[in-house]
Amino acid sequence: MTPRTIDVYSADCPLCADAVALVERLARPDDTVTVRSVNAEAVASEAARLGVRSVPAVAVDGELASCCRAGGVTEAGLHAALGA
């Protein structure tokens, strides 16, 4: 399988840390998981271009996960986005 790039947009809060842990648990060993702090202006701009309206949010290969378009990170939504 092709490795994926998974970006977790975070505000560096405990809820975001829970989402990061969930993504890391569901990601494949060859995936690249990066936590991106929206406290940095450039990251916040990038997140806005992807359609992020709240954090935590997850993008897989540059596309916002559907669960993050409709209310936030969920395990079921990440399973769908990651095919886990």
Q: Give the pLDDT confidence score for residue 84 in this predicted structure.
A: 65
Q: What is the mean pLDDT of residues 24-33?
A: 96
Determine how β-strand 57-60 pairs with β-strand 5-10: antiparallel
Cβ distance 35 to 13 under 8 Å? Answer: no
Determine how β-strand 32-37 pairs with β-strand 5-10: parallel
**In what order do the strands lie in the sheet containing 32-37?**
32-37, 5-10, 57-60, 63-64
Number of domains in the chain: 1
Structure confidence by residue, pLDDT tens digits, 47-72: 999 999 999 999 999 999 988 887 78
| Between residues 81 and 33, the one the model is more confident about | 33
| Between residues 81 and 6, the one the model is more confident about | 6
81 pLDDT more than 90: no
Residue 23 lies in domain: 5-82
CATH code: domain of residue 46: 3.40.30
